[in-house]
Amino acid sequence: MSSTPATTAPTPAAEDRRALRTQLLAQRAALPARAEADARIAAALSGLLAGLAVRCLGFYWPIQQEFDARDAVGIWLAAMPGRSAALPSVSRPGAPLDFHLWTPDTPMATGHYGIPVPDGTEAATPDALLIPCVGFSPDKFRLGYGGGFYDRTLAAMAQRPVAIGIGYENCRAPLQAQPHDIAMDWIVTESGAF
């Protein structure tokens, strides 16, 4: 008797998340008063970071209308000596993210998925991460793009960093957490940090 591999259809939960992700990305793309919302996120983020004892801040290169944290991170870096920032890179699909030091002057190269990554800088281990949210729930679970990179990264880090989700209020959604999901410690939106 031979056995043939079964094909697995997406679960209803996966289908629901895909549909929700598509809806939230469209809402984010159509966000009115974007510059004002971004300025308010930057202010809330600066206030939150001022109260945390962060030495190395991991963040993300903005794609698909995400909040661009580079200016806020640059100001945070310049405010106190000894701070460092790092951007993620994908070493291979299915693996946790690697982080490499970044400054506003760091030369960049094109990484996986066409996302810029620091070119030739040292590896770093952030003690706080800014994590982009396609959507987020009131209990601080996030919906990303579906690749699981940040959940894998948080689960694999020996010392868990402070996880700070960054999103827009119009992307707050009633998400049902899945077993692999890891809640954020903070969510920052144009309405503040919670």
Per-domain boundaries in the chain? 34-193
Three-state DSSP at 29 gives helix
19 is in an annotated binding site: yes
Alpha carbons 85 and 126: distance in angstroms, whole number: 8
pLDDT digits 0-9 by tens, 34-73? 999 999 999 999 999 999 999 999 999 999 999 999 999 9
167 is in an annotated binding site: no
The fold of 34-193 is Rossmann fold (3.40.50)
pLDDT greater than 70 at residue 171: yes
150 is in an annotated binding site: yes
66 is in an annotated binding site: yes
Contact 85, 73 (CB under 8 A): yes
34 is in an annotated binding site: no
Residue 79: exposed, middle, or buried by beta-carbon count in 10 A (0-12, 13-18, 19+)?
Answer: exposed
149 is in an annotated binding site: yes
| Overall pTM > 0.85 | yes
Neighbour tally for 66: CB within 10 Å: 16
Tokens of 159: 């010392």
147 is in an annotated binding site: yes
18 is in an annotated binding site: yes
25 is in an annotated binding site: no
Three-state DSSP at 177 gives coil
Q: Which pLDDT score is estimated for 5?
A: 41
